[in-house]
Chains A and B, each alone.
Chain A
Amino acid sequence: MPIDAFLKSIEATNFATTVRDSIWMFPIIESIHVMSFTLVVGTIAVIDLRLLGVASVQRAVQRMTQDILKWTWGAFALTVLTGLMMFTTNARVYYHNPFFRTKMILLVFAGLNMAAFEFTAGRTVHIWGSGPSVPRAGKAVAAVSLVLWISIIFMGRIIGFTTHPGAVAPPTPGVNYDNFLAPPPGSSNGNGGGNGAPNQPAPAPPKQ
């Protein structure tokens, strides 16, 4: 499959190799990813809840979007950048992971949902935006948006349980750092997880 060859070449880049071989780089990139997307989702939720009439109903929608969305997009750019960084470290595994794929599809839906707003209720926002009542299409878009973003969070979280990014330190023999409660190696059912790190060390590049 040609795509696999391409993904393999991404994994072989200097950047990907450096991140993979570092103990701290992947966790820090992942932390920045989480920080920025909490701002993405948090700020989007402020607007969605306004459209749904739950909060900030006395504020003009145009004013809020003008105030907030530039920060949302800035945080989104940082989220995408850090997401791409993580992707390079183990591109083939992510590409073939069903939750990763679902997450990407949901992101596309979130974009289409925004576009749907622009083509429906968004066109007349200057008429209804200052008042508390919102057209049905606007409310529908807001509800779909909240559901999509929460689903995207879940998909993102479960990717960490189902992939082996190879970005962790090689474990000391006999110690399972990722799941202390797991039975020792060799016994059945050692696959506990419970964190974002791979459950087992990847067939990782040998370190040091």
Chain B
Amino acid sequence: MNSFAHWLSTTSPSHAFRVHESWLIPGVQSIHIVGIAVIMGSLFMILLRILGWAGTDQTLRQTTDRFAPWIFGALGLQLVTGIVMIVAEPVRELINFSFWAKMVFVAIGTTLAAIFLYGFPNREQQWDRFVNRRTFKSLAIVTFVIFLCIIVLGRLIAYDHIWGSWSPARQEF
């Protein structure tokens, strides 16, 4: 991974991104944050609906139909902006404990969200059977918390030294 990251940093796209880094990197990061805001807002609306705290004039199915495309659309945006940031600064991102921990949480969180939004049979009765179960509500909360952890780990990429000896950045160079 070390040599890959260093190789990537010598490629021309990486170089091109860094030439314009004074505005490009904060700009792409800002788009990445707008993307996570869309995801969090949408997940939050679904969570509140599942818990029965908001949106109860809508069925759960109507709520997920409303927000699921925004969640997965924004996840696509996150992938694209994320790749740009990796190519621009491969060593900072890839030689980083927070980054890889974040990727694990992204994999788990995306899978859970996909199961929630697409995995259940698309029948209202099925939803209604699940919706009042405590495990269903707990799973919704867990999914939301995983996305909160993704935000924290994403921010901690910039502060990887707080992990101490877990941070490969310390051994780098």
Contact = CB atoms under 8 A, between A and B. Distances in A.
Interface of A: 23-24, 26-28, 30-31, 34-35, 37-39, 41-46, 55-56, 59-60, 63, 67-68, 71, 150, 153-154, 157-158, 160-161, 168-169, 172, 174-175, 177-181, 192-197
A67 B55 contact: yes
B162 A41 contact: no
A193 B66 contact: no
A41 B32 CA distance: 13
A30 B41 contact: no
Contacts of B152: 28, 31, 35
Contacts, number: 136
A181 B14 CA distance: 11
Interface of B: 9, 18, 21-22, 25-27, 29-30, 33-34, 36-42, 44-45, 48, 54-55, 57-58, 66, 70, 88-89, 91-92, 95, 148, 151-152, 154-162, 169-170, 172-173
Contacts of A56: 66
B155 A196 contact: yes
B48 A175 contact: no
A174 B34 CA distance: 35
B21 A157 contact: no
A150 B162 CA distance: 30
B47 to A, nearest CB: 10
B87 to A, nearest CB: 12
Given A169-B161, A180-B92, A67 B48 contact: yes
Contacts of A179: 89, 92
A154 to B, nearest CB: 4
Main secondary structure of the interface of A (DSSP, over half): helix
A28 B98 CA distance: 13
Given A31-B151, A71-B48, A43 B41 contact: yes
20 contacts: A23-B162, A27-B162, A35-B40, A38-B33, A38-B39, A38-B151, A42-B37, A42-B39, A42-B41, A45-B37, A59-B58, A153-B30, A158-B26, A160-B158, A172-B170, A175-B173, A177-B161, A193-B22, A193-B25, A195-B157
Nearest to B38: A42
Contacts of A23: 161-162
Given A27-B156, A157-B30, A39 B54 contact: no
Contacts of B92: 179-181, 194-195
A95 to B, nearest CB: 20
